[in-house]
Copies of this chain bind each other. A is one copy, B any other.
Amino acid sequence: MSLIENVVQFRVRYSETDQMGTFYNSRVLEWFECGRTELMRKMGLPYTAMEAKGVFLPLVEAHVEYLGRARYDDLLEMTASANLEGRARLRCQVRITHAANGPAVARGYTIHAFTNRDGKPVRPPAWFIEALYSHLAP
């Protein structure tokens, strides 16, 4: 089954470098967030719209493998995809390379709960599932 997928390009900011001359490790999780944001926009369901409907996607797990260096101003390419995992988890898979199709930089995933504004778990809404898998419709 093919997952919904989205590709974005971005440049490494100077603020994202550290004294080793490459990006600081935690920045990858901020980039993953940008990947999710644009993936959800492509699904027709911007994350702002979700929060406005009272559904939040806090992280329950994150995993990153660091595969290569990237320096200030390097142009990177990030591919994000998503699928449901179990009954009540969203899994976002992300990989980052140098553009275009250059050497690998990082890959990993984040796993998200569905909650209401107070952090209480909720079931994934039907409209979310529909948006997530609509590209599979015949």
Query: A25 contacts which chain B residues (CB < 8 A)?
Result: 29, 33, 59, 62, 110
Total residues of chain A contacting the partner, CB 8 A? 39
Report the nearest B residue to A46, measured CB to CB: B73
Q: Complex formed: what's the CA distance from A59 to B106 in Å?
A: 11
Bound: A48/B63 CA distance, A: 27
Docked-complex contact A66 and B61, CB < 8 angstroms: yes
Counting every copy of the chain, the complex holds 4
Contact (Cβ within 8 A) B29 A29: yes
Which of B18, B22, B48, B66 is the one whose CB lies under 8 Å from A60?
A: B66
Query: C-beta contact mask, A29-64 vs B, less than 8 Å → 1, else 0?
Result: 110011001000000001110000000101111111
Query: Out of B22, B37, B71, which one reaches A14, CB within 8 Å?
Result: B37
Taking a contact as CB atoms under 8 Å apart, the answer to whether B59 and A66 are in contact is: yes
- In the assembly, what is the distance between CA of A61 and CA of B106, in Å? 9
User: CA–CA, A138 to B100, complex, Å?
Assistant: 39
Residues 1-45 of A contacting B (Cβ, < 8 Å): 11, 13-15, 17-22, 24-30, 33-34, 37
A102 within 8 Å of B by Cβ? no
Does the CB pair B33–A13 fall under 8 Å? yes
Chain A positions near chain B (C-beta within 8 angstroms): 11, 13-15, 17-22, 24-30, 33-34, 37, 46-48, 56, 58-66, 69, 71-73, 110, 119
